[in-house]
Amino acid sequence: MATLLYTSDYDDRLMPMNHLPGGIGNSGNDRTWAQLILPYMRSFQLFRCPSDYGARPKPESTFDQDLVPGDTDSRYFSASMRSNIGYNYLYLAPVMRYQLGPWQVSPRSISQIATSETILFVDTVWDRRPDGTPYGGGNWLVAPPCRYARVNGIAIDSFGGGRGTSIYLPDQHREGWKVHNPNSGMVYGGAWPWHEGRMNTVRIGGNVKSIAPPELSAGCEVRPGWQGRITDPSAYLWDIQ
């Protein structure tokens, strides 16, 4: 509901993941998507899943030192990155640049999204210990399982990166799903089944569905480094087409 209220105020556009990608932002000059919809919500606590009982940084350790006087939301910049709600940013708000130009935040409009079943948010985890125990809270961003489709024998980047265009990827997402490491927090791209082996997803249409992890990769062949292809676009839950 908060997302829909945000888009109604911003010409049908979804939230950017943040304004200054690349690790150069802070609470004084940047905002995450979670902070952008926070004014439409009642409490920051809504970003924390009650089923996540794992250890995470204490609130005082995530409050930034360069707080903005008079801006009560600035203190949530770091804390918002531990949200248990992960944003499908690579399809809904990609960050691109042409050749060596500046990075441009490119949030999609609701009208650009062809199906109401496209994933908007999904339950997430920050990381997992070597024994598989989740820790650190959630992750504000979630990565899809596949990237490329083949059309008429040509590989197409479903993230939208055409010739000469680069897509910004945070460090933890550059390999896609870590299918070779079942104890990694990125085994499902950051998504995590907190609810008896299932995870909640929020779709663009506003409906909420509980699904099992294999359903996240429906319609695509998951391989390390995004080498697997999207085999059935109609079943693939991530793309906007």
Q: What is the pLDDT of residue 95?
A: 92
Whether 41 shows a pLDDT value over 80: the answer reads yes
Whole-angstrom Cα distance, residue 127 to residue 171?
13
% of the chain exceeding 70 in pLDDT: 93
Confidence at residue 28, expressed as pLDDT on a 0 to 100 scale:
80
pTM: 0.92
Give the tens place of pLDDT for each residue, 62-118: 555 556 666 666 778 888 999 999 999 999 999 998 888 888 888 999 988 988 999
| Confidence (pLDDT) at 73 | 62
- Of residues 163 and 226, which shows the higher confidence score? 226
End-to-end alpha-carbon separation of the chain, Å?
Answer: 23
d(CA 54, CA 77): 21
pLDDT at 20 over 90: no
pLDDT of residue 60: 46
Q: What is the pLDDT of residues 166-218, one digit of tens each?
A: 899 998 899 899 988 888 999 999 999 999 999 999 999 999 999 999 999 99
* Gap between the Cα atoms of 22 and 236, Å rounded: 28
Q: How many residues does the chain have?
A: 241
Three-state secondary structure call for residue 46: helix
